[in-house]
Amino acid sequence: MNLRQEAPHSPQLLGGARAAALLGSLSAAFLAERERWALWLPVAIGAGVTAYFALRFEPSPWLGPTLVALAVAVGVALRGRMAGLLLGFFLAASGLGFTAAQVRAAMAAAPVVQRQIGPVSVTGRVTLVEQRPDDRRLTLADLAIDGLAREQTPAKIRITVRARGEAISPGQRVSLRAVLLPPSPPAAPGAFDFARDAWFQGIGAVGYAVSAATIVARSGPDWRDAVAGFRQRLSQRIHAVLEGQTGAVAAALTTGERAGIDDETWNALRDSGLAHIISISGLHFGLLAGILFFSSRAVLALIEPIALRFPIKKWAAAIALLGSFGYFVLAGATAPTERSFLMLCLAMVAILLDRRPFSMRLVGWAAVAVLIISPHSLLGPSFQMSFAAVVALIATYELAREPFARWNRDAGMVRKVTLYLFGVGLSTLVAGLATAPFAIYHFDRFSTYSLAANLVVVPITGLWIMPWAVTTFALMPFGIEALALHPMGWGIDAMLAVGTEVASWPGAAVTLPAMPVTGLALVTLAGLWLCLWQIRWRLAGIPFLAAGLASAAFVAQPDVLVSEDATYMAVRAADGGLWVSSSRSNFTIDTWLRRDGREAGGRWPQTGAVTTDGRLRCDGLGCLYRANGKIVALVQEEEALVEDCRVADLVVAAVAVFVPCAARVIDRIDVWREGAVAVWLKEDGIRVRTVADTRGERPWVLPRPRERD
């Protein structure tokens, strides 16, 4: 009997066939999405911007243009292949982003004070006055500072003035005595870099006044000073009608001046998820433009000769564009308002050109423009959260447009109202989910009941507060703005009441551990993959999105933290919390606790005492900390060095250490040179990471000597 045998399939052949099939399906999906390829242009530019800021050294000024040239060469060499053209396109766009960031950093170059100086006499022109509940903050330009040569004098400084004095307006030249300091470096490795932010604002020093500010003279006419002065007068007129926090929020919504909002109000709005309402953004520009567009179009439609002969829709778009430009200038023309106005501008221009005003392509071009003009804004929460919300909303609109149109067709009043409420809820949910990862990354907090608060407040803002704000602008020339401000104030009171109530609910705001930058990158790319593509392969982004959101859970938190001047220290408790060396609230310790996902820390033990977990014991000269088989000496006085160097694996000293020490040493000189320090204690060794490790040598980083004196 003959038995038929089939030759077994080779595992290698099977694997190769599957790989070929997978590659073929991916290629087919990619080609099917070719109309969406252009949407990845801002992503490529953003990748170049990110690459520039990720470097730990300042690259050659020719590196960016060289990358662009090489990318073009690759595209030309492989022009016969679609993959080669796309690769060249992506690399060229990335090189463009890299070059834009490099050029913007060079353009922002200005002197920065190298150390604390003062009190010294300072004279300068006021460019901004921020009236806060307990003080004023002045931004000064055209400076003369005693003891600093002209080439060492910053372009701008920011001074806090507590002393009461004359009323000060932008454009005036003032004189005062102040203590000046360099802009602050990060409070911990990986924390927000205020010095980098100040560099791109042209601010070379911050500080506080030790005298009242005296008006010396008024400078020559400057349109920016005139606008800033008008903003200040407008805020004063608002405060004259609306008192307290109602007036402060009204001023924030109309002029962008938020300094008058006190901590209690800020905390309530933040914890309820409503802080975005009082930060002028795309929401406000959209509401303002919508009010101007629909109201002007309705008025023009009532004038029959005009309605029948002229394109009133385009006229209404032009009116909305002009009104939005005025709002943009009045709000201070800041980077966030610039971005929002640019997106709105593109939408109105689309109407003028008979195109759809809301599309992913328009958002993409707005992102390209912002990244070329202000590439550094990519690093900030405003850019990330605003574009995340808009991209997610448009992607949702593309999915829901046909079902909504079908349900709305021949709908009665009840169904229309139901659809409106459902639309508000859906848009609030989508925007909240899209911005949540970025809020967690930048602020280490999550507002649990944000959806509930926004479902109530967003309609109040759009249907009541903003229309009365527009009416306020219209009535101000006649001096009767109070007629509109009072109703506007009622809406603001309702908003604040909702915020206060929601913030009081148990678990309203949850503090979370800091998300690593790799986690944010995963979330961003996965979110873009989900929103920019349209066919089913977009769903492949979901597992990467989940991995990015979960990334913080897999990051080991440091066991020891030391501030940049060794004044403050913190150590890990056995239960995962932090023991901190100061009971007083200060920015450094608050930053450590927030990034650790803690609301508060345990108090450093008194002399002769030990913490409840037995890890930390202190005496009059310092403390000894034991964890993971390692001993860390936290030295406050030089007398403790000899003994602590003998018993400890690591010595962290608030004083300079010049004695021989067998242990590894981090002293006051080290932290002055390297910045704040984080330490991980492992059974197999000790890992140290400093702020200098994360920042490198960049234009906004003050140079420090690398060797000890």
Residue 123 maps to which CATH number? 2.40.50
Output the pLDDT for position 413: 78
- Is the domain of 522 the same as that of 503? no
| 342 in Cβ contact with 390 (< 8 Å) | no
In a domain, 44, yes or no: yes
Domain boundary among 450, 480, 511: 511
Residues 434 and 473 in one domain: yes
Residue 576 sits in the same domain as residue 690: yes
* Under 8 Å between Cβ of 160 and 136: yes
| Cis check: omega of the bond before 119, within 30 degrees of 0 | yes
Give a yes or no: residue 10 inside a domain: no
Distance, in Å, from the CA atom of 252 to the CA atom of 266, rounded to the nearest integer, reads 12
Residue 3 lies in a domain: no
CB contact at 8 A, 213 and 157 = no
Range of the domain at 190: 117-220
- The answer to whether residues 665 and 645 belong to one domain is yes
Radius of gyration of the chain (CA): 29
Exposure b/e, 95-117, CB count within 10 A at least 16 = b: bbbbbbbbebbeebebbbbeeeb
Do 76 and 127 fall within a single domain?
no
Shared domain check, 670 and 651: yes
Q: Is the pTM of this model over 0.75?
A: yes
**With a cut of 50, which residues of the chain have pLDDT below it?**
1-7
Beta bridge partners of 420: none
- Indicate if 175 and 292 belong to the same structural domain: no
Residue 48 CB-half CA count within 13 A: 31
- The pLDDT assigned to 508 comes to 92
Show which of 527, 554, 581 is a domain's final residue. 554
What are 638's two structure tokens? 């030089």
Q: What residue has token string 């986690």? A: 519
The Cα-based distances of 593 to 436, 570, 577, 596 in angstroms read: 20, 10, 9, 5
Identify whether residues 284 and 386 lie together within a single domain: yes
- Is 30 inside a domain boundary? no
Q: Give ∠ CA 415-417-419 in degrees, rounded to 5.
A: 65
- The closest of 503, 257, 282 to 382, measured between CA atoms, is 282
pLDDT of residue 334: 72
Domains in the chain, number: 5
Residues 437 and 368 in one domain: yes
